[in-house]
Structure 1
Amino acid sequence: MNLSKYLPKYIGMAVVGACALSACKSGPPSAQKPGKYSSTTGIEYNTEEGMKVADYQGIPEGPGLVFIEGGRTVLGSGEEDVAMTHDNLERTVTVASFYMDEAEVANIHWLEYLHYVRKDSSEEFYQSALPDTTVWARDLSFNDPYVDYYLRYPGFRFFPVVGVSWLQANDFCTWRTAKVNENLAGSAEDTSAPKKKKKKKGGDDGGDAGDAGAEGTADAGGEGKAKISIENGNTLPNYRLPTEAEWEYAAQAMIGTQEVGNENQENKRVYPWDGRQVRNSYGKKMGQFMANFKRGRGDYAGIAGSLNDGAMITEYVYAYPPNDYGLYNMAGNVNEWVQDVYRPLSFEDMEDLNPFRRNGVLDEESKYDKKGYQSLIDDKVRVYKGGSWKDVAYWLSPGTRRFMTQDSATASIGFRCAMINPGSNK
C-alpha cells in the first residue's frame, strides 16, 4: 500500500497538534502562561471537562514587605564572644529568597489588631492579645508615663510595639494573614470560571451546566468575586516570624558588598552596615549614629545639644538609615523574636539549606536540668536577635543571639513578620 500521498496530511496534522500543545508562538508554558490546552492530555482548560487553571501574574503584593534575594552566606558571629557562649559559630548555608517587613511592627499596627480582635473574637482572647504595658515599670525608675501612654498615645503610633510575647506575636501573624487575604478576596475577580456550554440551535442544550461554578470558585465577596485559594494564586502565603537564619541573613545584607559576577564573599560585616564603627562614615550625615542602642553605662542618648542616637528609649521605626535590603532597624531599637527554639548547638545540628530549629531534635530538652535549676533551656525558649535601645553595641551584630521563654515579654523585644516567596527561586 502506497502511503506517500497521505504523509503530507498526517505531518500537517502533527505539526498543528504539536503547536497547540506546546504553544509554538509564545514559547514553552509557564506559571503565568500555562497555555489554553493541557500539554499532557490536550484537553482545554477552564471548560466543563477541563481542569480549572486560574490566571496568575505572580504573588500579590504584601503590605509592608520587602523582597530579600536569597543565596549562600556565612552565618555566625564574627565578633569576639564576650559572653563566652560559643553558641553561633560560623558555617556556610544557603537561604531561599523570602519577604520581610521593612520595619518593626508598630503600636498603630497592634492597635489595629486589637480593634478587629475586639470586633470578631471573644473577650477572653482580646484580653490575651493585650501587650503587657507593665514591662516599663521599674521599682527604682520613674517610667510610669510609658506604662500609661506608650502603646496608645498618638505620638508613639509608629514606635515599635513591645511587651508582646513570642506567642502573641504568632497570633498577630495568623490574624494578619487572614485579614490581608480577606481584603484581597474583596477586590479579586474570578477570571477562571468554567466557560458556559453553548446552546445548540433550535433545541435544548441538555441543561445549562456551565452556569454552576466549578468546584472551589464560590463567591468570597459577592457575585463575580474569586474565592481565595492556593490554586487560584490570589492569596498571600502566611505571614510568620522569620527563622533565625532568615533574620540573620537579612540583617547582614551582604548583597551591598557584592560585585557583579564575583561569587566570592570577600567581606564580612560586623553590623548591618559597612565598617566596624557604629557611626555613619559617609555623606552629609557622617558621624551620626546608625542605630538606637546604649553606648555605655547610663548613656542612652548622649548629652543635650549633642545627642548621639537621640533616643532615650525606643524610636520611630523608620529612624536611622536602612540596610542594603531596605530594612530599617535590623540593629538596635528593639530586639526581635524569631521562630527558632534555642539550643547552644544550633550551629552544629542543622541543615545547610534553610536551617531552622523547631524543637530539640538531636538535642532533647531532657539533657538540660531545668527542674534542678541548673539550666534555663527547654522547648519553650525562643531566640531573639538584633540588640535594642537598652543594649550595648555588642548585641547589634547579626550573629549574636539570646533566648527567653515564649510566654514572656519585655520593653526591649518586638518583632517583624516574614513570608516565603512561593513559585520562584529568585
Structure 2
Amino acid sequence: MMNFSKYLRFAVVGACALASCKGGPPTATKPGKYSSTTGIEYNTEEGMKVADYKGIPEGPGLVFIEGGRTVLGTQEEDVTMTHDNIERTVTIASFYMDEAEVANIHWLEYLHFVRKDSSEEIYQRALPDTTVWARELSFNDPYVDYYLRYPGFRYFPVVGVSWLQANDYCTWRTSKVNERLASEGDEGGSTPKKKGGLFGKKNKDAGGDAAEGTESGGGTKIAIENGNTLPNYRLPTEAEWEYAAQALIGTQEVGNENQENKRIYPWDGRQVRNPYGKSMGSFLANFKRGRGDYAGIAGSLNDGAMITEYVYAYPPNDYGLYNMSGNVNEWVQDIYRPLSFEDVEDLNPFRRNGFLDPSEKYDKKNYQSLIDDHVRVYKGGSWKDVAYWLSPGTRRFMAEDSATAAIGFRCAMINAGSNK
C-alpha cells in the first residue's frame, strides 16, 4: 500500500518552498532545507548534498573590478599608424585583478615551492631570464645578479618572465591558494591529501618527474560544488586589462547612464603630472620622459626611478590598481592580431587563437610579418617607454616564449556565481 502520509509531507514541503513561506525565495547562499522542485530534503541519504556557501572566498592580492559598458580603443593620436585598436563599444563582466604587479618576492616564493616539490628541470624552466638586463654598451651588470634576489628589490616587479612562464605561475598560484582554502574548510580532516608539487612530484632516486595530479593540480583534491575554493588565477584578457586601466568609474556620476568623460591615461587630465593637492606637479607613473631621461636631474627628480620602481609607488587608479601605466608593461592572455577589434564579440571580447584570422595570412616565413599564433599582446608602457605607451588603448606584441626587462604581469580572476 502506498505510504500516503510520506508523499503528502513532500507535497506540503514542496508547496511551502515554492510559495516562499520562509524568508523569501531560495538563493545560492540560502537554498533552504528542501528542494523547491521535488520537496526532497537536501543532505540526506535520499537527497542531494548541498554544501554551505557564503559567497566566493576572498582571493589574496585581488581587488574587485565592477564591469559594465565602455568604449575600448586608442584615446590618443595613433602615431605608430597601426590602426589596430579602433574605438568600439563593448561590455565587460565584473572580475577581480591583482592590485599590483607580481613582485620579485612572489616569484621567489613560487621558485621555493617548485624546487621543493618538482624536478630540477622544472625549477630551471621557472627561473626568470636575468640576462635581460645585460647590455653590451651599458653597465647594467648589477641588475643581472641582484635585481631578482637582493632583499631591497623584493617588492619591485618581476621581469625577465615570458608569457608562458607567467601562465605557469597563475596555474601554480591557483593550486596553492585553493589547497589552503580547502584545507581550512576541511574541519573533519577528511579532504584527501597528496604529496607532490603542481608540476609533478620530485623523484629523489632518479631526479625525474613522477606525475601526481589531482583536481587541484597536485596538492589537495577539491570539488567545485563545495564552493570553498576560488576560480583560476589567470592572465587578464586584453579587454579586461584595458577596462581596468581606464577606471572610468571614477568619472561617473551616480544615476547618470551616459559615460561623458574619457581619459587618455588611468587618471584625470591630459598630462602625466598630478594636478591636485600637495602632490601637484609630481609624476603619476614611472616612464621615460625623453631621450636619455629616465629619472630627471639630481635634486629635482621627476619620477625618480632609473629602472623599475616599488609596485605600490604612485597613486592607484579609481579601482585601486597600482601602476596600470608605467613601471613595467604587462602580459595579457590574447594572441595578437591587428584587426581583433573587428572580429571579437562585444561581450567580454577575447582572441584566444587565429579564428577568423588564421596565421597563414601572415607571411612570417619570408620575414614579411612577425605575426603568428605564438605572439601575445602586452600593455601599459614601462620605465623605458615614452608617455605615448602609457595610454591603455595602445598595444604591442611579442613572442610568448620571449622576455625583456620591461615586461611583467599581474593576475586576474572571474567573478564566479554572478552574471554581472
**TM-score, normalising length from structure 1?**
0.88
Paired letter, 1:304: A
Q: Tell me by how many angstroms 1:321 deviates.
A: 0.2
Does the CA contact (< 8 Å) of 1:382 and 1:405 recur in 2? yes
Paired letter, 2:338: P
Instruction: Give the match for residue 291 of structure 2.
Output: 297
Structure 1 position 140 matched with structure 2 position 112: no
Instruction: Give the match for residue 302 of structure 2.
Output: 308
User: 2:310, 2:10 → 1: CA distance?
Assistant: 67
Structure 1 position 85 matched with structure 2 position 82: yes
Alignment counterpart, residue 166 of structure 1, candidates 163, 180, 187: 163
Instruction: Give the match for residue 334 of structure 1.
Output: 328
Instruction: Give the match for residue 149 of structure 2.
Output: 152
Distance 1:283 1:220, change over 3 A: farther
Does the CA contact (< 8 Å) of 2:10 and 2:39 recur in 1? no
Structure 1 position 46 matched with structure 2 position 43: yes
User: 1:420, 1:145 → 2: CA distance?
Assistant: 39
Paired letter, 2:260: E
Alignment counterpart, residue 181 of structure 1, candidates 178, 181, 200: 178
Report Cα offsets for 1:120-149 as digits up to 9, x if no partner: 111111000000000000000000000000
User: 1:17, 1:363 → 2: CA distance?
Assistant: 53
Match of 1:262, SS state, is coil
Structure 1 position 322 matched with structure 2 position 294: no
Q: Tell me by how many angstroms 1:13 deviates.
A: 10
Report Cα offsets for 1:223-245 as digits up to 9, x if no partner: xxx96310000110000000000
User: 2:123, 2:150 → 1: CA distance?
Assistant: 20
Structure 1 position 125 matched with structure 2 position 122: yes
Distance 1:62 1:13, change over 3 A: closer
Q: Tell me by how many angstroms 1:357 deviates.
A: 0.3
Does the CA contact (< 8 Å) of 1:190 and 1:227 recur in 2? no
Superposed, which structure 2 residues align to 1:197-236 within 5 Å? 219-220=191-192, 228-236=222-230
Paired letter, 1:133: T
Match of 2:363, SS state, is coil
Q: Tell me by how many angstroms 1:424 deviates.
A: 1.1
Structure 1 position 34 matched with structure 2 position 31: yes
User: 2:157, 2:242 → 1: CA distance?
Assistant: 19
Distance 1:23 1:300, change over 3 A: same
User: 1:30, 1:165 → 2: CA distance?
Assistant: 43
Does the CA contact (< 8 Å) of 2:100 and 2:322 recur in 1? yes
Distance 1:46 1:390, change over 3 A: same
Instruction: Give the match for residue 267 of structure 2.
Output: 273
Does the CA contact (< 8 Å) of 1:21 and 1:42 recur in 2? no
Does the CA contact (< 8 Å) of 2:13 and 2:39 recur in 1? no
Long gaps (5+) in structure 1: 1-10, 192-216
Alignment counterpart, residue 235 of structure 2, candidates 224, 233, 241: 241
User: 2:243, 2:78 → 1: CA distance?
Assistant: 19
* Structure showing greater Rg: 1
Report Cα offsets for 1:281-317 as digits up to 9, x if no partner: 1111111100000000000000000000010000000
Does the CA contact (< 8 Å) of 1:162 and 1:411 recur in 2? yes
Q: Tell me by how many angstroms 1:16 deviates.
A: 6.1
Instruction: Give the match for residue 253 of structure 1.
Output: 247
User: 2:187, 2:57 → 1: CA distance?
Assistant: 15
Paired letter, 1:253: A
Instruction: Give the match for residue 16 of structure 2.
Output: 19
Question: Considering only aligned residues, what root-mean-square deviation do their CA atoms show, in Å?
Answer: 1.8
Alignment counterpart, residue 345 of structure 1, candidates 339, 347, 350: 339
User: 2:364, 2:114 → 1: CA distance?
Assistant: 36
Superposed, which structure 2 residues align to 1:362-377 within 5 Å? 362-377=356-371
Does the CA contact (< 8 Å) of 1:218 and 1:227 recur in 2? no
Paired letter, 1:35: G
Instruction: Give the match for residue 4 of structure 1.
Output: none
User: 1:12, 1:396 → 2: CA distance?
Assistant: 66
Instruction: Give the match for residue 203 of structure 1.
Output: none
User: 1:75, 1:331 → 2: CA distance?
Assistant: 16
Report Cα offsets for 1:353-404 as digits up to 9, x if no partner: 0000011111110010000000000000000000000000000000000000
Does the CA contact (< 8 Å) of 1:342 and 1:382 recur in 2? yes
Q: Tell me by how many angstroms 1:25 deviates.
A: 2.2
**TM-score, normalising length from structure 2?**
0.90
Distance 1:44 1:313, change over 3 A: same
Q: Tell me by how many angstroms 1:159 deviates.
A: 0.1
User: 1:219, 1:338 → 2: CA distance?
Assistant: 34
User: 2:108, 2:186 → 1: CA distance?
Assistant: 31
Instruction: Give the match for residue 276 of structure 2.
Output: 282
Paired letter, 1:219: T
Alignment counterpart, residue 356 of structure 1, candidates 347, 350, 362: 350
Paired letter, 2:368: Q
Q: Tell me by how many angstroms 1:106 deviates.
A: 0.1
Q: Tell me by how many angstroms 1:41 deviates.
A: 0.8
Long gaps (5+) in structure 2: 1-7, 195-219
**Greater displacement, 13-22 / 247-256:** 13-22
Match of 2:239, SS state, is helix
User: 1:314, 1:150 → 2: CA distance?
Assistant: 10
Q: Tell me by how many angstroms 1:189 deviates.
A: 3.5
Structure 1 position 379 matched with structure 2 position 386: no
User: 2:11, 2:232 → 1: CA distance?
Assistant: 45
Does the CA contact (< 8 Å) of 1:22 and 1:29 recur in 2? no
Q: Tell me by how many angstroms 1:333 deviates.
A: 0.1
Paired letter, 1:381: V
Report Cα offsets for 1:90-141 as digits up to 9, x if no partner: 0000000000000000000000000000011111110000000000000000
Structure 1 position 412 matched with structure 2 position 410: no
